[in-house]
Amino acid sequence: MMKSLLCLVIALCLATEAAWAQRVTILHDGAAPQAAYAARKLGEALTERGYQLLAERIGYDVLVSLAVHPERLGPEAFSIIPEGKVITVYGGDQRGMIYGALALAETLRNGTRLEDVQRAEAKPNLEFRAIKFNLPWDTYRPSSALDQHYETARDLRYWEAFLDMMVENRFNVISLWNLHPFTYMVRPTNFPEASPWSETELAEWQRLYRGIFRMAKERGLDTYIVHWSIFVSRQFAEAHGVAKQNFYPHYYVAGDTSEIVRRYLRESVTQVLEEYPDLDGIGISHGEGMAGMTPLQRQRWMDDVIIAGMLEADRPVKLIHRVPFSSGTSSAGGVSRHVEQVTREAMERLENRFEGPIWVEMKFNWSHAHSAPELVKVHGGKLGDTYFVPEPKNYRITWQARNEDFFALRWGVPDFIRRHIALNGAADYVGGYFVGSETYIPARDYFTAVEAPVAWKWAFQRQWLFYKLWGRLLYDPATPDSVFQSEFDRRYGPRGDSLLRAYSLASSTQLRLASLYDSTWDFTLYSEGFLALQGDTTKYISVDRLMRQPTMAPEYVSVAEYVETLRERGAFAPGRVTPPMLADMLERDCREALHLVGGIDVSGNASLMYEVADVRVWASLGLHLAAKLRGAVALQTFRVAGGQQNRTAAVAQLQRALEHWDEVIRITRPIYRDMRLTHYNHNFFHANDDNLFHWALIRDEVARDVEIARNSERQN
């Protein structure tokens, strides 16, 4: 034993000494900020691995050459070519060169030595890979759950880390969303009264925006500001007696079409584009702030104001065009073939007016893309083929993969994302995806309760697997699981296979609940908390609610449909997923996930403790749902067919479901704070401080299921 340990120590020492003996120089174009960034990030990885970086290009043991070669490679593609003492990294453009340098850095961090680097190449599957980031000022909804990120999101150190994460994971667009961004970015030349800021305050805001755009450009990221429609600053509204509710915190308001509002917004758009040369484009919305207007009026207003303001800027501009929006005159969602045709014609009239294709954003399965991978609906309902047939020439569809379902618990199901992309990303008219939330901002860590040191500072760093899976698989869906397993290994030692598999099994609980429970806009489901909007209140999904709720996924069978079909001696087509089948799937996968993490020693490592704990929580939630489904079937059977044994079985299963919920509480109470939740904001125009969520806080609602079963009577 001692001899083996001694050999291991000697081998490690020799490896370290060999690394120190290797001197490396990086050849790159120092005048290009993207090349300088790539060299810096690669240099950091080399230094971490014990190599000596040389400033000069003489006396090296290995030379790494970073260059762009567009004749050989397409945009965003890269190749790594090792040849003796020289490793060449080519990119088809600056962005591809960065990806190649980061791929080499990742290889080194995973333990491969420079002399063992293998030839590699990659190219993007989808052109548009964006993060949707809602800013915490002039937010879409007033909520202390969003306001709490204000200071964090004004810290450029935060943005440096967030943008580093994006480019590392091959995202290539950062889109910043809020109601009215313009007075945070400029003092309007002809409307200085619209600005609420002193010169010093405005300079701070401008430093923030310019810093974000500059760092994004350095990393090869495109930048967009996306806003809702006819909104102004309160100061502008009060100065001119117009747009009397078209400012924060209001958003479901009538459109003000007065000429002074039109001019103010058109000139603000142009001025922002001219004062921020690193800003690539603007996104437009035809919804909130435009109530009382017909779809055609909305489109004409947009052409006359926002589109006109963009085209008046003396430089190339990119456009995100959101669809579909209201088919009537309200702010509510709605789909209509006529509106789709009007919108398509308006976009086609803009051919060659903007740089690149127009990116047409559609919400995939409304606000809950982490549900069925098949497209069931968009914002407002089922989508027709107007935008796709005939195939568009000047625009591409970008799916909005909204996440309003999990914020605290880590999530990672790689095969779901692969299937999502395979089903929805293959058509030529698809340009890519947005990933992000409306009701959550990944900035301040308001979750972590333990005092022990952890490996993250900001919220997005806790969810590293979520971002890595979406980003890397959007770039290349064939990226193997070994890439993600290696990241687990690098962080926590050789546990990657078990942890990734455990997450894939356990956090599928969320996908299954969101596929079982039909939902639409943001508040209608919060899967992580088993909450749903019921009437005007967000609360726990009771057994009664679960029984009668339609499903999102077409292949899923609701409890009510299942019991009624059996009662009528019917059968289900192959491929349908009945509640008992779903319960069995949940139990099988969650038990296996618990087994996979059961032997992992987390002592002395708080970060690993959280990773393992989240697997256990998802698994316990899955077992809770399995028991709840069985109890719901038994209870509904009792109500329609009688049989005391059915009521007894329902009570027993729902009691078992409560026990699994208690296990969730036992795991989470010491390690998770009570967390602010936007879904609890029942008054849309005022921030609500009574909005704390924790699984422990709703135990009484969960326990009520048992009493519902005990007190149930057979229906007549």
Compute how many other C-beta atoms are within 10 angstroms of the C-beta atom of residue 515: 26
Secondary structure of residue 81 in the 3-state scheme:
strand
Instruction: Name 565's Cβ contacts closer than 8 Å, sequence gap at least 6.
Output: 557, 571, 572
Instruction: State the average pLDDT over residues 582-596.
Output: 98
The band of 287, judged by pLDDT with boundaries at 50, 70 and 90, is: confident
| Measured distance CA(625)–CA(509) in Å, rounded | 8
Is residue 537 over pLDDT 80?
A: yes
Is residue 448 over pLDDT 90?
A: yes
pLDDT at 4: 44
DSSP readout, 616-666?
A: HHHHHHHHHHHHHHHHHHHHHHHHHH--HHHHHHHHHHHHHHHHHHHHHHH
Domains of the chain as residue ranges with CATH: 22-122 (3.30.379.10), 128-490 (3.20.20.80), 508-710 (no CATH)
Tokens 């020492």, located at residue: 13
Q: Which of 246-255, 321-330, 338-347, 636-645 comes out lowest in average pLDDT?
A: 321-330
Is residue 525 over pLDDT 80?
A: yes
Longest alpha-carbon distance in the chain: 91
| Measured distance CA(716)–CA(713) in Å, rounded | 9
Instruction: State the average pLDDT over residues 146-154.
Output: 98
pLDDT at 686: 54
Torsion region of 655: left, alpha or beta (phi above 0 gives left; psi -120 to 50 gives alpha): alpha
Cβ pair 530, 541 in contact under 8 A: yes
The band of 17, judged by pLDDT with boundaries at 50, 70 and 90, is: very low
Torsion region of 403: left, alpha or beta (phi above 0 gives left; psi -120 to 50 gives alpha): beta
pLDDT at 14: 40
The band of 681, judged by pLDDT with boundaries at 50, 70 and 90, is: confident
| Measured distance CA(263)–CA(190) in Å, rounded | 9
The answer, as to whether pTM is greater than 0.85, is: yes
pLDDT at 10: 40
Secondary structure of residue 433 in the 3-state scheme:
strand
Percent of the chain with pLDDT over 90: 91
Is residue 335 over pLDDT 80?
A: no
pLDDT at 240: 98
Helix (H) or strand (E) holding 346: helix 337-348
453 CA to centre of own chain: 26
Is residue 16 over pLDDT 50?
A: no
The band of 638, judged by pLDDT with boundaries at 50, 70 and 90, is: very high
| Measured distance CA(392)–CA(8) in Å, rounded | 61
Q: Which of 22-26, 331-335, 451-455 comes out lowest in average pLDDT?
A: 331-335
Instruction: State the average pLDDT over residues 389-414.
Output: 98
Secondary structure of residue 605 in the 3-state scheme:
coil
Is residue 5 over pLDDT 50?
A: no
pLDDT at 684: 52
Cβ pair 58, 29 in contact under 8 A: no
